[in-house]
Structure 1
Amino acid sequence: MGSDSRLVNRMLVVVFTAQFLVALDISLVNIALPSIQEGLGFTESNLHWVVNAYLLTFSGFLLLGGRLGDVFGRRRVLLGAVVLFGAASLWAGLATHAWELGAARAIQGLAAAAISPVALALITVNLSGGPVRARALALWGAGGALGGAAGVLLSGLLTEFMGWRWVMLINLPIVAVLLFAVLSGVRESRAEHRPRLDVTGAVLVTTGMSLLILGVLRGEGGGWTAPDTALLFVFAVAILAVFVLVEHRAPEPLMPLTLFTRRAVLGANLFGFLLSAGQLAGFFFVSLYLQRVLDYSPALAGAAFLPFCAGTVVGLRIAMRNLERLGPRTLLLIGGLTGAAGLAWFAGLSPEAEFFTQLLGPSMVCSVGIGVSFVAMGAAATSGVPARDAGTASAVLNSSRQLGGSVGLAVLVTAAAHVTSSHDGDMVAALAAGYSTALALAAVALAAGALLAVIVLPRSSSEPSDVQRGDEDGTDTPDAGMADDRGSQADTRPVKTRAESC
């Protein structure tokens, strides 16, 4: 197939591994938290920072991380971020004090904020359409969906059999694979006219997003009507409003507002927000249900997510085979409603549920739907985006997903706690009722996302793909073109409207 084809295959390894690593670390520590608390002396009040330190820096710096790749070169930024992530993982695994682990997790999130958007931008810039682009989007979706499921699985197994430190150290071999793949499979690409970095916009959006996420976390833990929570939201909204005004007037904005004039981009981000709310709730509440209601051990609870991994692969393959034929709009509807059906099925679990009769079915249905959704969402979110803004568009999608997961989970945790506290039965029955309510609401969120996507996304894309014309308008010049599935250079011919969304 030629050297260019081999280069494409290596780039696909980068896309999958990068997204897998980022998603893995979001869910990897959940089951290990009690062991981490005992090992490093975290208090009940500060244990949440093991999760939230990562979450805050990841969410806050996503837009800046994506733009850095556009400005300074995607290969260079990706290599630096992966090295930083590996060093932070090593520090986390060797930490002897609580503050060290918190700081290391924050640095992991900072590095992930560059890794994730650059991975999706590689697809946007280097692959113009056809089966290879569909396969790349499938692998990007696979990395996100499987990383989240594998994180829950590995968290239980590693904690029980090897100790909590391996929950952090398991990243190192993945980082090594990713570094090798980047060095051998990614050619540098940068804008021919390198835009100036919008420092003012970067400071505003990073501060605003961090305060917004902090407000959500504070609302979950201390009450949504508490004065300090309300103040965080007021400051966050005010700063983000100023950010929008600055971007509107900036000659080279960090986030071009014209991205949202593309219906495909807008619809994909709305869907991504609600998808993450449902998906993260599914992982979180099903994991709690298995351990606190059905009395599964951490290892067994992790192993129970294996069918979810298998179903996700099935969904990704379905989407990959049908993306060009059906388009993102139809696949988002099918995938979103299927995933919502699986979450609704989970909501009907009883406190005496058996795995093969009541857990296996919803696991497969939910995961197939989410697998289909990830591919279609990535395709729509980058449809027709200029190559110079590829990293930014990718970062916007990741920001929408991260914000949706944070807000959705916080709201659903509050709803579950309210139902549990007002339940008249014993504690197990009360917990089951709370978790079921949260899963039902997660199903509603995902179904709403599917319907919104259908309303907002165009039936067929009429937007030109600026990525394909990057060399003509001087907006982006890769050092070398990527190959399509026949080993030739990236196709510069006009692509059919349906394929532009792919």
Structure 2
Amino acid sequence: MSTTEAEPGAESGAVDRERGARGTGAEPVPAGLTGRLKLVLAVLLVAQFMLAVDFSILNVALPAIGDGLGFSLANLQWIATSFALCAAGFTLFFGRIGDLLGRKRIFIGSLALLGAASVLGGLATSPAVLITARVLQGLATAAATPAGLSLLTTSFPEGPLRQKALGMNGALMSAGFTAGAVLGGVLTDLLSWRWAFFINVPVAAAVVAIAPAIIKESRPTERPRLDLPGALAVTLGLLGLVFGLTQAGEFGWGDPRAVLGLIAGVVLLAGFFAVERRAEQPLVPLNVLGRRNIAWGNLAGLLAFVTETSLVYLLTLYLQKTLGFSPLAAGATFGVLGAGTVVGGLLAPRVIARRGTLPTLVTGALVQAGFTAALLFLGEQTGPALALLLPATFLGGVGNMLTIVGFMVTATTGLPDREQGLATGLASMSQQVGITMGTPIMSAVATAATVGATGTAIHHGITVAIAVNAALVLLTAVLAATFLRTGSGK
């Protein structure tokens, strides 16, 4: 039995008592999905899918946006970086704000902000306006993601129902990241890059209109006070770390901005832990962070998101630079990977029910590592390459989703409702930082391994980065198997 399975028994009394805080604890636990729970799940999943799409939908459209608005080549990367900085840096902060003000309120308000920011981005006529829109989209994502995940975990009781909900959530989020690449190419080629913004508007409006009537407010009985020094330290530290990584991916590890950003991030995060030791009501109580399921579960989740999202980037380079695919054709190829993540998300709850959370997480990582390693044999001829790439990405996506759902269950199980905002904030932060870190890390690895500008040299750099990617996935399995064994979780 995994750590996550041992903890509920030890803390079931606290969990049961705290469930009353959300107003549903006194109700009988449903044996299956009721009509209302299905509506709640649908609204939350649609919102999370849209948030995931936003991470990748503009990647293919960047050159067209640059030409249309007059971005310089050096500043073009800020379209992605400005979004990523806010989405990753403010996640934990907004997760705690949701505990204070109410997760439903934050969820609905942030989606309204996302819709407004998408209108602004779609109508932008200058680089400054577009970057402003991306910053607002990033802040909205940082607030909506942990709030939506908290609403999911507090709406569904621990056990099969929550596992099923988290499985579907994980599947649609990973599929959303992949779908963003496909959708961005389709919209840019057939309509305009502006529709990559406008497509959010009706979805956000529908969720904002429907959610108030079907989602119940979720807030701990005792509201914690905001640990402002801790919030500032962790937010600025994450901003520094993500900034440094994005600059390293763009300009190399020796770039002064990358070095300064990484140093500032590490120093601020170290200061954050020092602040938390002395805080009366810390943003992240160190006894919670010291639990095995929280600490090692989030590390496994971080690596799972780092590897699969960056693999999409590496394979995009491979398909376009080595095989000569168009952006639209390359994006369409990832539909197979998206299908694999959906299948994995649907399978994960069943595998967890039969085998346990830890075996599911480790098995998923081993499957993903094996099929990522298979991509090392990709050649430069289209037919044989696709014959290997398509099944390998499908099965690798299945494995990745088993790992992600295992991580989500691990990192949110055995905790009372008053700590769900913290747990889901940490899980969301691992997700957002992982998605943000993966591409610049693998880009820097591929760049360092590329010694020339020829197609062969680029292929070599991509192959080296894929090897590093597979090694990180294998490390995920080893760490989980070693440190997430049966125990108290302390």
TM-score in terms of structure 1 length: 0.87
Q: Measure how far apart 1:34 and its partner are.
A: 0.9
Q: Measure how far apart 1:437 and its partner are.
A: 1.4
Give structure 1 stretches of 5+ with no counterpart: 465-502
* Counterpart position of 2:252: 223
* Residue 149 to residue 227, structure 1, CA distance change in 2 (3 Å): closer
Q: Measure how far apart 1:401 and its partner are.
A: 3.0
SS at match of 1:255: coil
Question: Partners in 1 of 2:62 and 2:457 — Cα distance?
Answer: 23
> Residues 47-196 of structure 1 correspond to what in structure 2 (within 5 A)?
47-196=76-225
Deviations 1:234-259 (A, max 9, x none): 32222222221221222222122222
Question: Partners in 1 of 2:43 and 2:291 — Cα distance?
Answer: 28
* Counterpart position of 2:468: 441
Question: Partners in 2 of 1:237 and 1:247 — Cα distance?
Answer: 16
Contact 1:281 1:439 survives alignment (8 Å): no
* Counterpart position of 1:414: 444
Equivalences, count: 460
Question: Partners in 1 of 2:376 and 2:211 — Cα distance?
Answer: 42
Give structure 2 stretches of 5+ with no counterpart: 1-29
* Counterpart position of 2:393: 363
Deviations 1:33-72 (A, max 9, x none): 1111111111011000110000001111011111111111
Range with bigger deviation, 4-13 or 87-96: 4-13
Letter in 2 for 1:378: M
TM-score in terms of structure 2 length: 0.89
Deviations 1:275-307 (A, max 9, x none): 122112111011121122111122211111111
* Counterpart position of 1:499: none
Question: Partners in 2 of 1:4 and 1:135 — Cα distance?
Answer: 10
Letter in 2 for 1:433: H
* Counterpart position of 1:353: 382
Identify the match of residue 480 of structure 2 among 449, 453, 457: 453
Q: Measure how far apart 1:228 and its partner are.
A: 4.0
Q: Measure how far apart 1:315 and its partner are.
A: 1.0
Matching of residue 203 in structure 1 with residue 232 in structure 2: yes
State the identity %: 36
Contact 1:347 1:435 survives alignment (8 Å): no
* Residue 138 to residue 181, structure 1, CA distance change in 2 (3 Å): farther
* Residue 2 to residue 255, structure 1, CA distance change in 2 (3 Å): closer
Question: Partners in 1 of 2:329 and 2:262 — Cα distance?
Answer: 39
Letter in 1 for 2:398: V
Question: Partners in 1 of 2:234 and 2:122 — Cα distance?
Answer: 31
SS at match of 2:415: coil
Identify the match of residue 65 of structure 2 among 36, 39, 61: 36
Deviations 1:187-245 (A, max 9, x none): 01212222212222212211111111111122223332344433333322222222212
Deviations 1:407-453 (A, max 9, x none): 4432321221122225xxx7122211111211121111111112111
Q: Measure how far apart 1:117 and its partner are.
A: 0.9
Letter in 1 for 2:279: A
Question: Partners in 2 of 1:196 and 1:343 — Cα distance?
Answer: 45
Contact 1:56 1:214 survives alignment (8 Å): yes
* Residue 346 to residue 3, structure 1, CA distance change in 2 (3 Å): closer
* Counterpart position of 1:483: none
SS at match of 2:34: helix
* Counterpart position of 2:408: 378
* Counterpart position of 2:316: 287
* Residue 175 to residue 2, structure 1, CA distance change in 2 (3 Å): farther
Contact 1:353 1:359 survives alignment (8 Å): no
Contact 1:281 1:438 survives alignment (8 Å): no
* Residue 225 to residue 24, structure 1, CA distance change in 2 (3 Å): same
* Counterpart position of 1:325: 354
Letter in 2 for 1:272: G
Q: Measure how far apart 1:146 and its partner are.
A: 0.8
Letter in 2 for 1:404: G
> Residues 414-433 of structure 1 correspond to what in structure 2 (within 5 A)?
414-421=444-451, 427-433=454-460
Identify the match of residue 273 of structure 1 among 302, 308, 319: 302
Identify the match of residue 391 of structure 1 among 421, 425, 444: 421
SS at match of 2:356: helix
Question: Partners in 1 of 2:334 and 2:32 — Cα distance?
Answer: 38
Question: Partners in 2 of 1:264 and 1:224 — Cα distance?
Answer: 32
Letter in 1 for 2:200: N
Letter in 2 for 1:428: G
Question: Partners in 1 of 2:47 and 2:488 — Cα distance?
Answer: 31
* Counterpart position of 1:46: 75
Question: Partners in 1 of 2:364 and 2:83 — Cα distance?
Answer: 29
Contact 2:369 2:474 survives alignment (8 Å): yes
Q: Measure how far apart 1:136 and its partner are.
A: 0.7
